[in-house]
Structure 1
């Protein structure tokens, strides 16, 4: 999730990048970006500047920041009200039509854009995604809304109550994006049967072998966790961990979770394809220097 307040915390990252960039004639794969909730593809003070930052440090590689719908208003609203399955289908179609991505691309997802891009990797192997980087992605979902800075206090209270009481009602799943990755550890069966997005891409309803095969085609799957995150609960979801079933206090070890094997993450770990990065700070609070030091080199790998 990404809000106007969180966008401001990206200020470290998105001021004008130095002109030096990456030297040499390194060929870099195109990069696809997917924003989080409360943001859009192209605002000059958020993903627009991130796009520029990547271009300047990768010899001008092609960067496509995804816009859902025909304009930024629709793109903004999609983060709240367009079902992720519909969004993923839309993105897959448009990526397949982009000739500049035909030989492959790297992808960076911000907050909920992270799990949406993972769904793209699992459902749409062409054009091929090579490296997936998720920043604060809720791969095991969320259970709690500690802040709703993009909404009024009344709206936030209503949204929290709605998710707590009726997240898995069909109409809520259809109308509210965040309900589709609401993961109630106290009622796991309700979650698995009611979630119309996350339970599917995590292979929790039935084993989709294509999801396992396609995810394992990635060369790298990099998960960035914000160690002082006050937005994502639990923050461990950013590293594909979650509460042990039946309670909401103890985090289950990564390699003991059902999804670890059911999604083929065990294979990826054995092959050295998984990378877990931690950074001090709140949700999406990344400095420009950290981004350049830790993430840009991942984009330079063939």
Structure 2
């Protein structure tokens, strides 16, 4: 009798593509942006609870904490090179048994490009849907806002980026410099950038980066139409300034990254895997209702 029940379970599981005893949703991994931390109650801590509540607590949500403490995690947004952060995140994911069968990933602001790099670099990161909100996939050329730091410190960071973004010590010590993209000096950018140019395959083409992105079910990019943090705003959709200009813009489809298939995004678009979402408002300003409808219900109910 028990054998018959087990056989029935196997048949149903094969028909519906899911273990009938597993009523949980695919886990979620989140990565915060600059001036934030994994678990602040007013930011990602609140969103973690929102996702769990919306999905009846039948989901595992991990908000990445870099460096092993809240303070170190907060500091990481400014002073720990993305390469080291991604190594840390990869180790965490590799050691988390809840994530071994795959997960959905949500990046906020600079956490967007860090999560994308995680997909490209970390073999154990089996990401189904990569969702980025207010990301800077082509980098930034400007730092207009600087949350959580004093005005004097913000001005100091701006001055460094404007005049010395590609100096070796700046690239090593200031996170924002690693995705600084000077459209008027593209050759220097490609040569000196220690992060964004590398993960965009602009230094040399790493086929593994292309192959791993191709495995995504969806690559969702959310652009905030009145974003004063991301310059230019279109970087959230892989758009950027045309080479030689800091005024004239080009879309993803007009860029070398797309036309020369440096990341395989052209094929992903043809396959219907690229999703472009726009929302009114400034950087990361959205209502819970919008997040539930456009992110949770659309991409996390799997």
Task: Give the aligned partner of residue 31 of structure 1.
Answer: 28
**How does the TM-score come out when normalised to structure 1?**
0.90
Residue 298 (structure 1) shift: 3.1
Deviation string 1:213-241 (CA, Å, 9 cap, x unpaired) is 00111000000000011111001000110
Q: Secondary structure at the match of 2:101?
A: coil
What is the alpha-carbon distance in structure 2 between the residues aligned to residue 253 and residue 287 of structure 1?
A: 27
2:108 to 90, 107, 110: 110
**Structure 1 residues 22-61: aligned runs within 5 Å:** 27-60=24-57, 61=59
Question: How many equivalent pairs are there?
Answer: 278
Change in 2 beyond 3 A, CA 1:26/1:277: farther
Contact 2:37 2:73 in 1 (8 A): yes
Contact 2:141 2:231 in 1 (8 A): yes
How large is the RMSD of aligned CA atoms in angstroms?
1.1
What is the alpha-carbon distance in structure 1 between the residues aligned to residue 35 and residue 78 of structure 2?
A: 8
Q: Secondary structure at the match of 2:160?
A: helix
Task: Give the aligned partner of residue 167 of structure 2.
Answer: 169
What is the alpha-carbon distance in structure 2 between the residues aligned to residue 152 and residue 126 of structure 1?
A: 39
Task: Give the aligned partner of residue 211 of structure 1.
Answer: 209
Contact 2:118 2:125 in 1 (8 A): no
What is the alpha-carbon distance in structure 2 between the residues aligned to residue 300 and residue 179 of structure 1?
A: 33
What is the alpha-carbon distance in structure 2 between the residues aligned to residue 209 and residue 111 of structure 1?
A: 26
Greater RCO (Cα-Cα under 8 Å, separation 6 or more): 1
Task: Give the aligned partner of residue 3 of structure 1.
Answer: none
Task: Give the aligned partner of residue 258 of structure 1.
Answer: 256
Contact 1:221 1:275 in 2 (8 A): yes
Task: Give the aligned partner of residue 198 of structure 2.
Answer: 200
What is the alpha-carbon distance in structure 1 between the residues aligned to residue 49 and residue 152 of structure 2?
A: 37
Contact 1:225 1:278 in 2 (8 A): yes
Deviation string 1:44-100 (CA, Å, 9 cap, x unpaired) is 111111000001112320000000012100000000000000000110011011001
Structure 2: gaps spanning 5 or more residues: 1-21
What is the alpha-carbon distance in structure 2 between the residues aligned to residue 28 and residue 270 of structure 1?
A: 28
1:184 to 182, 185, 190: 182
Task: Give the aligned partner of residue 96 of structure 2.
Answer: 98
Which structure has the bigger radius of gyration?
2
What is the alpha-carbon distance in structure 2 between the residues aligned to residue 253 and residue 95 of structure 1?
A: 33
Q: Secondary structure at the match of 1:164?
A: helix
**How does the TM-score come out when normalised to structure 2?**
0.90
1:272 aligns with 2:272: yes
Task: Give the aligned partner of residue 294 of structure 1.
Answer: 294
Residue 26 (structure 1) shift: 5.4
What is the alpha-carbon distance in structure 2 between the residues aligned to residue 76 and residue 253 of structure 1?
A: 33
Structure 1: gaps spanning 5 or more residues: 1-24
Task: Give the aligned partner of residue 219 of structure 2.
Answer: 221
Q: Secondary structure at the match of 1:228?
A: coil
